[in-house]
Amino acid sequence: MADLSADPILVQVAYARPERQRIVDLAVAPGTSVREAVRRSGMAGEFPEIDPESAPLGVYGRAVDGEEILRAGDRVEIYRPLEIDPREARRQRARLR
């Protein structure tokens, strides 16, 4: 549970589409979860495809459970679903060579 009496910590929440990215700087209370930071970032209002309750999340490229507690300076990443399996993409590239 977030400690509302403590000084806030600064984190970032990031989301990217091929044509556009957004990074939001956010001050949150110590004890704030990754998923709560996503909710507070307002990203879902700007990118309607994001479901803050089920989107896959990471911190600096490492997949995390949404309940992980943030530390000062963390960057939360909201991941998009893969359009193609990476193994299949490699096979397709190999066929083109």
Instruction: Give me the tens of pLDDT residue by residue for the chain, a chain 97 residues long.
Output: 666 678 999 999 999 998 999 999 999 999 999 999 999 999 999 999 999 999 999 999 999 999 999 999 999 999 987 777 778 878 888 888 7
Q: Tell me the helix, strand and coil percentages in the chain, rounded to 5.
A: 25, 30, 45
For the chain, the structural domain boundaries read: 9-96
State the pLDDT at residue 8.
96
Q: Write down the CATH superfamily of domain 9-96.
A: Beta-grasp domain (3.10.20.30)
State the pLDDT at residue 24.
97
State the pLDDT at residue 59.
98
In 3D space, the residue among 78, 56, 65 whose CA is nearest the CA of residue 11 turns out to be 78
Cα–Cα distance for residue pair 32/29, rounded to 1 Å: 6
pTM: 0.80
SS3 state of residue 63: strand
Ranges of beta strands (E only) in the chain are 9-17, 20-28, 57-59, 62-64, 75-78
* Amino acid in the structure at residue 57: L
State the pLDDT at residue 28.
97
- Of the chain, the end-to-end C-alpha distance in Å amounts to 53
H-helix or E-strand spanning residue 38: helix 34-41
